[in-house]
């Protein structure tokens, strides 16, 4: 923000940036869904092996899980009410941050769990293949578990930071007479 821009204008820029970021996230998620569906269909179409067919079904289940996650995120973002009055700006910001914190706190159940059945089917299908390199399969499984664990840890760290931010906003928004009470 330059010196000549008003706080309202800065808020508009932040809103546009947030909407653009959300759009890019959904485009990336949508592309991932298309890639997973395509992979699943191709594997199911060309496979005669039972294991490969299970893995192909896993790609489709994973795509369905990702679609569910994306729809939950969109529904969650659209539920946060918008308020035009300036005196409610802090309350609105706290409400938005609280909703984001809740999304981060419940990310395992809401975002990761729907993906697990598809991932499991893919790994089971690969395990049933006629020739399996168990070291590579177990390594890939361990890497997937580590990645999911790291993502959960990152979400919890972000939720803690948001809790601190919310506490600071609530403390700073109280009037001078309220602080002594």
Average pLDDT over residues 80-95: 64
Q: Given a cut of 90, is residue 68 above it in pLDDT?
A: yes
So where are the chain's domains? 7-174
Residue with tokens 């869904």: 33
Q: Which of 88-97, 102-111, 122-131 has the lowest mean pLDDT?
A: 88-97
Please report which confidence band the pLDDT of residue 120 belongs to, taking 50, 70 and 90 as the band edges: very high
Q: Which two tokens stand for residue 109?
A: 């159940």
What is the C-alpha separation between 49 and 77, in angstroms, rounded? 42
pLDDT of residue 88: 63
- Residue 138: per-residue pLDDT: 95
Higher pLDDT, 81 or 64: 64
Please say if the pLDDT value at position 119 is more than 90: yes
Question: What is the distance between the alpha carbons of residues 122 and 99, in angstroms, rounded to a whole number?
Answer: 33
pTM here? Answer: 0.73
17-62 pLDDT tens trace = 777 888 888 899 999 999 999 999 999 999 889 999 999 999 999 9
96 pLDDT above the threshold of 50: yes
Using CA atoms of 84, 104, 139, 121 in order, give the dihedral in degrees to the nearest 10. Answer: -80
Percent of the chain scoring above 70 in pLDDT: 82
CA geometry: angle 51, 138, 126, nearest 5 deg: 10
Query: What would the DSSP string read from start to end of 164-179?
Result: HHHHHHHHHHS-HHHH
Average of pLDDT values for 120-149? 93
Residue 181: the pLDDT is 47
Three-state DSSP class for residue 111: helix
> What rounded mean pLDDT belongs to the chain?
84
- As a whole number of angstroms, the distance between CA 4 and CA 142 comes to 54
Output the pLDDT for position 169.
Answer: 82
Q: Please give the pLDDT value at position 97.
A: 85
């Amino acid at each position: 923000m330059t010196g000549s821009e008003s706080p309202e204008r800065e808020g508009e820029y932040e809103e546009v940036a947030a909407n653009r970021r959300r759009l890019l996230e959904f485009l990336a998620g949508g592309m991932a869904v298309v890639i997973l569906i395509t992979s699943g269909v191709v594997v199911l179409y060309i496979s005669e092996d039972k294991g490969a067919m299970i893995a192909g079904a896993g790609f489709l289940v994973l795509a369905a899980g990702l679609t569910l996650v994306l729809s939950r995120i969109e529904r969650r973002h659209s539920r946060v009410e918008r308020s035009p009055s300036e005196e409610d700006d802090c309350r609105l910001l706290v409400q938005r941050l609280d909703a984001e914190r809740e999304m981060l706190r419940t990310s395992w159940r809401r975002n990761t769990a729907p993906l697990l059945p598809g991932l499991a089917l893919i790994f089971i299908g690969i395990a049933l293949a006629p020739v399996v390199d168990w070291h590579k399969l177990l390594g890939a499984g361990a890497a997937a578990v580590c990645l999911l664990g790291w993502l959960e840890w990152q979400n919890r760290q972000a939720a803690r930071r948001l809790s601190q931010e919310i506490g600071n906003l609530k403390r700073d928004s109280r009037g001078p007479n309220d602080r002594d009470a």
